[in-house]
Amino acid sequence: MTALLTTPTGAATPAEEPTVPPERRRVPYLLLLPGLLWLAVFFVVPLVTLVSTSLQTGSLEEGYALTFSWSTYSDVWSTYSSQLLRSFLYAGSATVLALVIGYPLAYAIAFKAHRWRNLMLVLVVAPFFTSFLLRTLAWKIVLADDGWVVGALQTVGLMSDTGRLLATPAAVVLGLTYNFLPFMVLPLYASLEKMDPLLLEAAGDLHATPVTAFRTVTWPLSLPGVVAGTLLTFIPAAGDYVNVQFLGTPNSQMIGNVIESRFLTVLDYPAAAALSITVMAVVLILVVAYVRRVGARELL
């Protein structure tokens, strides 16, 4: 808003705004330059290369040529649609399971842990101190047929004597849930920790039951953390291929396994690139629809 100055005659005239030197105007753009260069080199260029590769035809021996062959997308969609849908099913199941486990944990850390809060947060991120591969291999031992988990389930009658967990879709979902659980807990904790406890006291003063207070106060205020946590869990889980490789079977392959095979084993680069672009596009559509559906458009 332009300031007004009063002249001796009583008329109001706009005051002159201070002139910003040109070199100071360039400072914000110079601060943005490193981030823009990073995005250009490590995101834009690889993405353009991936799109270009997906539109090529040829072979590794004969060489590839850019022919704008859009039929590659329809071919990979019709061939690998089951793996794509299975990936989203596994990732969605792991995300829901992580939310069910992570929300009470984040709530306990934020409101009940008190002096143990820092220790519990360290325990949440402690799995990151170990390699992703080693953590998945550890689950292969935990879920083995002669492991204590299967033995306990057979003892209580929840699994037959010939039943197994390893090399099943359940093992894949459990592995995904464990590996990406911190990505759910930390955003939830950050959202819950900012909430004013006096709001819950006010809800109690208005004769709200604990369930009503949670539904009308805690849950809506924690919704940004829920959205962030579900996205941080679902997106990497949908493209994961390590858990299926060690905990599943070839019949339970996800789209990440197919892409890895196309790139490194079959050496069919156009098909692998087309699959990668397809997964990115589908995930982007799902994310936008989800964020708009839950009403957290400011996260976009």
The pLDDT value recorded for residue 83 is 94
The pLDDT value recorded for residue 300 is 45
The pLDDT value recorded for residue 3 is 52
Residue ranges for the chain with pLDDT beneath 50: 1, 297-300
The pLDDT value recorded for residue 206 is 85
Asked if 175 and 237 touch (Cβ cutoff 8 Å), the reply is no
The pLDDT value recorded for residue 235 is 94
The pLDDT value recorded for residue 27 is 78
Class of the domain covering 80-299: mainly alpha
The pLDDT value recorded for residue 97 is 97
Domain boundaries, the chain: 80-299
Q: What angle do CA 168, 171, 176 make, to 5 degrees?
A: 135
The pLDDT value recorded for residue 173 is 95
The pLDDT value recorded for residue 157 is 86
